[in-house]
Amino acid sequence: MSFFIRLIESTDNSRRELEALPKVQDMLNSRMSRETYQAFLMDLYHIVWHFCPIMAAAASHCPDEFRDVRYHLYNNINEEKGHESLVLNDLAVFGVSAQQVAAAPPTYPVQAMIAYNYHAAERIHPCAALGMLYVLEIISSVYGGQVATSISRGLNMELPDGFTFLESHASMDMDHMAKLRALLQKITDEEVQDIVINAIHMNFYLFIKFLSQ
């Protein structure tokens, strides 16, 4: 069995658990309120802001044995840098300023998610960052475009204003997922494979906690 197939079989229950959450179902069925969407974006800002620094931390710890992982992270950093500004632009549509966002700490599950991913990248194994990438990119590629359309319809708003981050990442992260799958297939060390799978479980678990609030 290939690593990628083992990874999917090991973690897909977590993805389905996330999809079944009432808040996610509200997102997918045009039932999310303006206030709930704003709160979601404010937490999302912190996740996106830390995305590149976490990848940079992981890349800095990659030995030459995992140079392909290092280069993949470099490329992702180059493509993802500054995307927190898209979230700020979306929040501005709802009258929320960048100063308000910066002054509001993320919720506890988001703080735990950010802290875990720094810790895993620096203290467990740099390939753990691939678990974070997998979860965030599968959520964006599978749900991002549908969620943007559904929430905007429920709020009687026209795309893309207020939804630029979600809408733009739907197609972008489909390409990222294809590249990530090819990279994961190159990881043959079973111990490292298990670290990646554990990181996926942790990120799904913390994302579920975040969206269960």
Tell me the domain boundaries of the chain: 3-211
pLDDT at 141: 84
Tens digits of residue pLDDT in 132-159: 999 999 998 888 889 999 999 999 999 9
* pLDDT of the residue at 1: 76
Q: In 108-136, which positions are buried (b, 16+ CB within 10 angstroms) versus exposed (e)? A: ebbebbbebbbebbbeebbbbbbbbbbbb
Distance CA 8, CA 176 (A): 16
Phi, psi of 79 (to 5 degrees): -80, -30
- Percentage of the chain with pLDDT > 70? 99
* pLDDT at residue 173 in the model: 63
Cis before 105? omega within 30: no
The predicted pLDDT at position 175 comes to 82
| Residue carrying structure tokens 């204003």 | 161
pLDDT per residue over 166-177, tens digit each? Answer: 988 877 767 888
The hierarchical CATH code for the domain 3-211 is: 1.20.910.10
Question: What residue ranges of the chain have pLDDT lower than 50?
Answer: none
- Structure pTM? 0.95
Whole-angstrom distance, CA of residue 56 vs CA of residue 129: 10
Rounded distance, CA 83 to CA 17, Å? 27
**What is the C-alpha to C-alpha distance for residues 48 and 44, in angstroms, rounded to an integer?**
6
CB atoms near residue 77 (< 10 Å): 16
